[in-house]
Structure 1
């Protein structure tokens, strides 16, 4: 009986580790893929990729708004430096640092052209 219980506990621990690896661990392959993708694309493609990976959850697939504001004409409201500042430091419900500063510069340049 005691051996069966230990085996069950061991199996549960292994299953928990497997679930973690399957759903949460991204590993070095994903990071390497992103670095390769960044080298061969234009700044517009990079910006769209960054936004697609980080911003559409709140701002919508077409930046039409959702939990976050509509960004389709954000360039007519804010300058590139203001947009970059909002990305880096947050504003209202938007948290600071959603994307790293070097990517914030690329995205802010792209968004500032949306007028």
Structure 2
């Protein structure tokens, strides 16, 4: 009797393991889901600069020279617009996420604006 119970439990455990192996997302799928998609916008430098002054200068400085946050005056030299969009949207380390404060189009405009700073 005990053999049948143990065999049944083993069968259930193996079945569950197989189901989970084929239904859980892989690393690539999780990474893709966690990467925000940047909407296509045309750069409006004046609007981007106004939004940056309203939202970013407290930490990044009035000339984007840095302060509590890193300098952004040459961020386009090592990050593209999509990477900048992702950081602004999700946040990173001590930088908060801005997805609740700014629209995706505003974030994309800022990302394009900062990507040109090289």
Specify the TM-score bucket, using the shorter chain as the normaliser.
Answer: 0.5 to 0.7
| 1:8-33 CA distance string (max 9 Å, x none) | xxxxxxxxxxxxxxxxxxxxxxxxxx
Question: Whole-Å Cα distance in 2 between the matches of residues 89 and 61 of structure 1?
Answer: 23
Question: In the alignment, which residue of structure 1 is the partner of 2:102?
Answer: 99
Q: Deviations over 1:26-84 (max 9, x none)?
A: xxxxxxxxxxxxxxxx7010010000000000000000000000001000110100000
Alignment of 1:23-62 (within 5 A): 43-62=44-63
The structure 1 segments of at least 4 consecutive aligned residues displaced by more than 2 Å after TM superposition are none
Instruction: Select the residue among 103, 109, 114 that pairs with 2:112.
Output: 109
The answer for unaligned runs of 5 or more in structure 2 is 1-42
TM-score by length of 1: 0.62
Tell me by how many angstroms 1:99 deviates. 2.9
Higher relative contact order (CA 8 A, sep 6+): 2
CA distance in 2, matches of 1:48, 1:56: 10
Q: Kindly tell me the number of residue pairs found equivalent between the two proteins.
A: 74
How far the C-alpha of 1:102 sits from its partner, in A, is: 1.6
Q: Counterpart of 2:27?
A: none
Q: Which has the higher helix share?
A: 1
The separation in 2 between residues aligned to 1:79 and 1:72, in whole angstroms, is 14
